[in-house]
Chains A and B, each alone.
Chain A
Amino acid sequence: MRANTWAGRNKVKVRDVPDPRILNERDAIVRITSTAICGSDLHLVDGYVPTMQNGDVMGHEFMGEVIEVGRGVDPGRLRVGDRVVVPFPIACGNCGACAAELYSCCENSNPNAGIAEKMFGHPVAGIFGYSHLTGGFAGGQAQYARVPFADVGPLKIESDLTDEQVLFLSDILPTGFMGADLCDIQKTDVVAVWGAGPVGQFAMDSARVLGAAKVIAIDKEPYRLQMAERAGHTTINFDEVDVRSRLLELTGGRGPDKCIDAVGMEATHGAAHIHAYDRVKQAVRSETERPHALRQAIMSCRSGGIVSVIGVYGGFLDKFPAGAWMNRALTLRTGQCHVQRYMKPLLRRIERGEIDPTRVITHTLPLDQAERGFEIFKNKQDNCEKVVLKP
Chain B
Amino acid sequence: MTRLATREAAEARKDEVQRRGRGLGWMSLGLGVAQLAATDTVRRISGVDDSPTSRAVVPLVGARELVHAAGLLTSRRKGIWAWTRVAGDAMDLASLGMAIAHRGGRRRRRLLGVTGAIVGITVVDLLTAVQATRAKEIGSMPAVRGLRGGGPMELTATTTIRKPPPKVYAFWRDLDNLPTFMAHLEEIRSTGDRTSHWSASAPFGTNVEWDAEIVDDSPGEKIAWRSTGNADVPNAGTVRFVPAPDGVSTEVHVVLSYDIPGGAIGKAVARYFGEEPHQQLDDDLRRLKQVLETGEVVRSDGAPWGKRARKEFPQRPAQPLSDAEFAKGAQA
CA distance A54 to B302 in the complex (A): 11
* Contact yes or no, B326 A26, CB < 8 A: no
CA distance A21 to B325 in the complex (A): 12
Residues of chain B within 8 A (CB-CB) of A129 are 318
* Contact yes or no, B162 A99, CB < 8 A: yes
Determine whether A286 belongs to the interface, using a CB cutoff of 8 Å to chain B. no
* Contact yes or no, A114 B283, CB < 8 A: yes
Contact with B along A110-124 (1 / 0, CB 8 A): 111111000000000
CA distance A56 to B301 in the complex (A): 9
Determine whether B201 belongs to the interface, using a CB cutoff of 8 Å to chain A. no
Closest to A113 in B: B286
**With known contacts A96-B162, A112-B302, A113-B286, A137–B318 Cβ distance under 8 A:** yes
CA distance A25 to B306 in the complex (A): 14
Minimum CB–CB distance for A122 against chain B, Å:
12
Closest to A109 in B: B298
Residues of chain A within 8 A (CB-CB) of B317 are 5, 53-56
* Contact yes or no, A114 B293, CB < 8 A: no
Contact with A along B308-331 (1 / 0, CB 8 A): 000011011111111101100000
Query: Which of B160, B282, B322 contacts A18, CB < 8 Å?
Result: B322
* Contact yes or no, B303 A135, CB < 8 A: yes
Residues of chain A within 8 A (CB-CB) of B300 are 23, 111-112, 126, 135-138, 148
**With known contacts A18-B323, A21-B321, A138-B319, A95–B303 Cβ distance under 8 A:** no
* Contact yes or no, B302 A136, CB < 8 A: yes
A residues 1-45 near B (Cβ < 8 Å) are 3, 5, 17-21, 23-26
CA distance A324 to B315 in the complex (A): 43
Using C-beta atoms within 8 Å of the partner chain, give the interface range for chain A. Answer: 35 or more
Determine whether A72 belongs to the interface, using a CB cutoff of 8 Å to chain B. yes
Determine whether B140 belongs to the interface, using a CB cutoff of 8 Å to chain A. no
Query: Which of A3, A24, A107 contacts B296, CB < 8 Å?
Result: A24
* Contact yes or no, A114 B282, CB < 8 A: yes
A residues 68-117 near B (Cβ < 8 Å) are 72, 92, 94-96, 99, 107-115
Determine whether A167 belongs to the interface, using a CB cutoff of 8 Å to chain B. no
Query: Which of B298, B313, B319, B321 contacts A57, CB < 8 Å?
Result: B319
* Contact yes or no, B320 A17, CB < 8 A: yes
Closest to B304 in A: A23
CA distance A96 to B320 in the complex (A): 30
Determine whether B294 belongs to the interface, using a CB cutoff of 8 Å to chain A. yes
Determine whether B199 belongs to the interface, using a CB cutoff of 8 Å to chain A. no
Determine whether A132 belongs to the interface, using a CB cutoff of 8 Å to chain B. yes
Interface residues of A: mostly helix, strand, loop or mixed? loop
* Residue of B279, B296, B319 with most chain A CB atoms under a 10 A cut-off: B319
CA distance A138 to B300 in the complex (A): 8
* Contact yes or no, A53 B315, CB < 8 A: yes
Determine whether B120 belongs to the interface, using a CB cutoff of 8 Å to chain A. no
Residues of chain A within 8 A (CB-CB) of B315 are 51, 53, 112, 132, 136
* Contact yes or no, B294 A26, CB < 8 A: yes
Closest to A145 in B: B320
CA distance A95 to B301 in the complex (A): 22
* Contact yes or no, A94 B296, CB < 8 A: no
Determine whether B193 belongs to the interface, using a CB cutoff of 8 Å to chain A. no
Residues of chain B within 8 A (CB-CB) of A138 are 300-301, 318-320
Determine whether A214 belongs to the interface, using a CB cutoff of 8 Å to chain B. no
Minimum CB–CB distance for A268 against chain B, Å:
30
Determine whether A146 belongs to the interface, using a CB cutoff of 8 Å to chain B. yes
Minimum CB–CB distance for B167 against chain A, Å:
13
* Contact yes or no, A95 B162, CB < 8 A: yes
Closest to A27 in B: B299
Residues of chain A within 8 A (CB-CB) of B296 are 24-25, 72
Minimum-distance CB pairs A-B, first 4: A136-B302, A55-B317, A56-B318, A20-B320
Interface residues of B (CB under 8 A from A): 160, 162, 246, 249, 279, 282-283, 286, 289-290, 293-296, 298-304, 306, 312-313, 315-323, 325-326
Subset of 7 A-B contacts with CB under 8 Å = A20-B301, A53-B317, A56-B317, A57-B301, A112-B302, A114-B283, A132-B318
